[in-house]
Structure 1
Amino acid sequence: MSPPAKLPASLSRLYARPGFLLRRAHQISAAVFEDECRDLGLTPAQFGVLTVLKTHPGLGQSSLARALGFDKVTVLRVLRGLETRGLVERGPAPDNKRNMCVTLTREGEATLAKAQKPAERAYKRLLGPLKRDQQEQLIELLQLLTGELEEDARAAFIPPGHG
C-alpha cells in the first residue's frame, strides 16, 4: 500500500526515501517470516544463525557474527536465546580457549529442517507482489547496493571461508 496522495511534500519525500522504504521492507520481511515460522518460534536472525552453523559447525562467535553481518552484541543475544532453547551449544574453541565456538544440537538440526518449508513460504510471500523478472531485479539491486556500500556498514559481512 502506498501512502495517501494528499500528504505534505515533506512527508511525501520522507516516505519515498530509500532508507525509509528499506527499513519498512525489513519490518515487513521479518513479520512475514515470523508469521510463517510461528509454530517453530523462529526469527529471521535465529534462522540465519542455524543455517550458517549447519554448513559451518564449530564456527567461532566472531566469525558467525561476520557471516551474518551482525555486531557482537546481536549475535550474542541471538545465541543466548537459541542456547536457552537447546538449539545450539557454545564452548571453548580447541585452538584458542578464549574464543567460543558454536555448534547445532540435534534439536537445533531438527528445528532447522522443520523451518525449511515455512522459510520458503515466507520468501515466496514476501516476493509475491512482484513479477518474476522484478523479483530477480530486486535481488540484483539489493546485492549491488549492499556490495557497493559494504564498507559503510556498522558490522562487517564476511561469509565463512572468505576472511
Structure 2
Amino acid sequence: MENWTEKNIATIEEKLKDASTRDKRFFRIDELKRNVERVGQFSDSCGSCNKLKNNIEEVVKIIDIAVEQPGKNRRNFDKTINQLSKHMQKQHHFYAPYYFTYLFSFWGIIIGSLIGGIPLLFVANDKLLILSIGFSLGMIVGYFIGNSKDSKIRKENRLL
C-alpha cells in the first residue's frame, strides 16, 4: 500500500509543480494528499477506502486539468475530495479544524436562547437583556466544550 500512496502523492506534486500556492490552497491539495495517505493506510481494513482508491487514481490522472480549467474534470475532482472528507469524518473520525467548536457554539446559542427565553414568560421588564444573557452564556459554554473536544482531536492528530 505504501507504493500506491507514494506514487499518487508524487504524481500530484509533479502535475501541480507549476500551480500557484493560492490554487493549491483553494483546491485543498494538501488535504487531498493527507487523505491519499489515510486511504492507503486504511484500505486493508476498510472496504470503502479500497473503493475510493479507484476514484483517487482517476482524479490524480486529471488533477492538472481540473485545477486549470472549470468543467467536468473539476466537478469530478470536487466530488472526490468531498467523498474523501465525508468518509474520513464518518468512518475514521477525522475532523476539520474547529469543527466541534463551531458545532457546540451553534447548539449552545440555540439552547442558551431557549433557556433565556423561559424567564421571559414571568418577567415583564428587560426581556432583551434576559434573552441576550442566555444567548451569550450558551455560546460561551458551547465554545469551551467544543474547544476541549477540538484540542483532544488535535492531540490525537485526527485533523483533516
Larger gyration radius, structure 1 or structure 2: 2
Q: Normalized per residue, which structure has more helix?
A: 2
Query: Greater relative contact order (Cα 8 A, min sep 6): structure 1 or 2?
Result: 1
Q: Normalized per residue, which structure has more strand?
A: 1
TM-score, with structure 2 as normaliser: 0.29
